Amino acid sequence: NAGVTQTPKFQVLKTGQSMTLQCAQDMNHNSMYWYRQDPGMGLRLIYYSASEGTTDKGEVPNGYNVSRLNKREFSLRLESAAPSQTSVYFCASSDRITSNQPQHFGDGTRLSIL
Amino acid sequence: RKEVEQDPGPFNVPEGATVAFNCTYSNSASQSFFWYRQDCRKEPKLLMSVYSSGNEDGRFTAQLNRASQYISLLIRDSKLSDSATYLCVVNIDYKLSFGAGTTVTVRA
């Protein structure tokens, strides 16, 4: 049982390049999330998808776009990467977006923008 | 003001000791609360939910004080394997808000 799978695990980009981070879950969860984690800060929500076919902005959406491709997959795209987007990115999922549902995380994508 | 604030530590304790730490949250409308554990920048993993009446899970005890808007975690009989960063997490309007974490190091 893989849980939440993220690809790639590591990536180095040059400023201005674009890329898509992939996330897939096999737990039949309805809700999926993208976070970034920077040193000394808590995880910050970038975008989330409460259910298939819906996406909403989180706390720090600027510079990112997302696609909920189907129930399993939720991708995060950087259209024009900037050094400020150097971070560790985590994808997560939960059964549904209610107050008492914990989230299950992938093992992260470490992204460096030069 | 951050929505969730934690003492970053580190808390350095010997094996077998008890260690406790708090986090505070700013939004009184927060709906649910969790402690997550994160090892060496790996993915966060749910440690336990925090219930209004307080709850235990083995050596771990969590307390919630809604009036003062803080959550606590106590670890008894610390093990080397408890060394990690503990993230306080608050659910606000169905979205999780994370503290920056409290680092605990258990030494032999």
Min Cα distance B23 → chain A (Å) is 13
Per DSSP, the three-state class of A102 is coil
Residues 6+ apart with CB under 8 A from B58: none
Select the residue of A42, A44, A45 nearest B87 (Cβ to Cβ). A42
**Residue pLDDT, tens place only, A3-12:** 999 999 999 9
Q: C-alpha distances in angstroms, A106 versus A24, A110, B29?
A: 9, 12, 29
- The predicted pLDDT at position B89 comes to 93
- Tell me if A68 sits within 8 A of A49, measured CB to CB: yes
Q: What is the DSSP letter of A39?
A: T
Which of A97, A98, A103, A109 is the best substitution to test chain B (most B C-beta atoms within 10 A)?
A103
pLDDT tens string A50-92: 889 999 999 999 999 999 999 999 999 999 999 999 999 999 9
Within 8 A of A100 by CB-CB distance, chain B residues are 31-32, 49, 91
Q: Any CB–CB contact under 8 A between B95 and chain A?
A: yes
Q: Using 50, 70 and 90 to split pLDDT, how confident is the model at A114?
A: very high
Other beta carbons within 10 angstroms of residue B108's beta carbon come to 5
Three-class secondary structure assignment of B56-97: EECCEEEEEECCCCEEEEEECCCCHHHCEEEEEEEEECCEEE
pLDDT tens column, A11-56: 999 999 999 999 999 999 999 999 999 988 889 999 999 889 999 9
Mean pLDDT (whole number) for B18-27? 95
State what percent of residues in chain A have pLDDT above 70: 96
Q: How many angstroms from the chain centroid is the CA of residue B5?
A: 11
Integer CA distances (angstroms), A50 to A38, A69, A102, B72, in order = 24, 13, 14, 29
B91 part of contact set with chain A, CB < 8 Å: yes
Q: Regarding predicted confidence, which is higher, B27 or B82?
A: B82
Query: Are A104 and B46 an interchain contact pair (Cβ–Cβ within 8 Å)?
Result: yes
User: Which one is predicted more confidently, B1 or B36?
Assistant: B36
pLDDT category of residue A99 using cuts at 50, 70 and 90: low
Cβ-Cβ pairs closer than 8 A, A with B, add up to: 52
Residue A23 to residue B36: CA distance in whole angstroms: 21
* Average pLDDT of every residue of chain A: 93
Position A103 scores a pLDDT of: 87
Any CB–CB contact under 8 A between A2 and chain B? no
